[in-house]
Structure 1
């Protein structure tokens, strides 16, 4: 499938900022399953931009802008060819061993509820892949209406206990639960075509299965990512794969508005 993306992030500041430094995880990488046909990041002010690869293998762009800055628009336009592989990721850059992704972070703390949930839902499954599918189905049954929404900053345990979650929160729940089953898991940020719903950046998870590799699971959708998904960045949690992260020098508040369209172009490739 050929997918076109237009993604604009507009920051407005209540007071002019002296300096901005931002890390942009907005560029997907080529794998055997997706090919970046074209991709461009633009800003509407004078800025220096440097491309690099972070320690997890993500393509990143560092943005440096000097003030005074009252507002900044960051725009992404691109096209990607994708294929359906039943969720299995082939040919991704993997500079670190899978065991790293057993490490918990403050955002993926399991608390008391998730370990019991993981054991009840997936503990009796016959093999690791079956346990992961059971976990995906169990979370989908509980959080099938979780929206794509801005990061709430809560942990997996807090979101699970409250019952009020976004797709980011549910991805972190899957990660925390999988790690409770001693299965390496990580957070994925990206895009998907989702008919009939407001378009927003999406989140899902990947877990490592011995002999198979990394496999994607989307507990909000209840299935593995297919050709309608574009995989952009991975991390130990939502903060580690955030599309835009950085610092600013200046006082006042900031306001963020996001506009996104993700559409299929033509027929399937």
Structure 2
């Protein structure tokens, strides 16, 4: 499937800031199920800095924007050819040991309710257990935009019984780690037809490490493993760690952010 992306992030400040430094994970991952055709990232008034590929295999690009400024626009445009690998991250180069992803973070910290949910899942092997965990999370947290926020934890989302893809991913990561499966948060994009299935163009899911298969993606929000509709950007311990854009501004202004993302299928 050939997918095109138009992703605009606009930052505004209630008073001019002196400068902004950003770190981007906005380039799609290089693996067997994903081929980059063309991709362009622009930052209004920005100057490119250092660029490197980190231990998780993600391409990280630094940017500096000199002030004074009251607005920054980050625009991503490009196209990717994708293939359905049933969620398996085949051919992805990384150096971080999977066991590192057993470490919990604040958003994925286990509590009694999450542990109880994780313990309800069973299967004859690790892959079946992973599917059961994803199904348990999907059953326990209904998809409902607007009831949670960027800092909602997995435990809080489970207590609410509602949330969005970030909450599903955090909860699955927490449950998988509790059951001894290395797990990580993945950010990316999702194309979906208007068939009534809940989805967001800017999307998130989880990857669990399965012996003999490696990293396998699970998307509880859509009760699916990532297929050709998904574009993978990068991964981390949680949403903050895997964020496509991270940054810091010099100055005491209050920041507001607006994001628009469109993912479309184009002709082959």
Residue pair 2:199, 2:222 contacting (<8 A) in 1 also: no
Unaligned runs of 5+ in 1: none
Shift in Å at residue 164 of structure 1? Answer: 3.1
Q: Does 2:237 match 1:239?
A: no
Alignment of 1:188-199 (within 5 A): 188-196=186-194, 199=200
Q: Does 2:141 match 1:140?
A: no
What is the aligned partner in structure 1 of residue 155 from structure 2?
157
1:172 corresponds to which of 149, 170, 173: 170
What is the aligned partner in structure 2 of residue 182 from structure 1?
180
Q: Deviations over 1:121-144 (max 9, x none)?
A: x1x311111111111112222334
Shift in Å at residue 198 of structure 1? Answer: 7.3
What is the aligned partner in structure 2 of residue 109 from structure 1?
109
Q: Give 3-state SS (helix, strand or coil) of 1:88's partner.
A: coil
What is the aligned partner in structure 2 of residue 30 from structure 1?
30
Q: Does 2:77 match 1:77?
A: yes
Residue pair 2:118, 2:176 contacting (<8 A) in 1 also: yes
Instruction: Work out the CA distance in 1 between the residues paired with 2:32 and 2:106.
Output: 33
- Single out whichever of 97-106 and 162-171 deviates more from structure 2: 162-171
Residue pair 2:199, 2:221 contacting (<8 A) in 1 also: no
Instruction: Work out the CA distance in 2 between the residues paired with 1:191 and 1:21.
Output: 24
Q: Deviations over 1:52-80 (max 9, x none)?
A: 22232211111111110110100000111
Shift in Å at residue 15 of structure 1? Answer: 0.4
TM-score, structure 2 normalization: 0.94
Q: Deviations over 1:95-147 (max 9, x none)?
A: 11111111111111011111111111x1x311111111111112222334244
Shift in Å at residue 150 of structure 1? Answer: 8.6
Instruction: Work out the CA distance in 2 between the residues paired with 1:72 and 1:190.
Output: 21
C-alpha distance 198-138 of structure 1, shift in aligned 2 (>3 A): closer
Unaligned runs of 5+ in 2: none
- Single out whichever of 44-53 and 16-25 deviates more from structure 2: 44-53
Residue pair 1:84, 1:226 contacting (<8 A) in 2 also: yes
What is the aligned partner in structure 1 of residue 213 from structure 2?
212
- How many residues align? The count is 265
C-alpha distance 225-172 of structure 1, shift in aligned 2 (>3 A): same
Root-mean-square deviation (CA), in Å?
1.7
Shift in Å at residue 149 of structure 1? Answer: 9.4
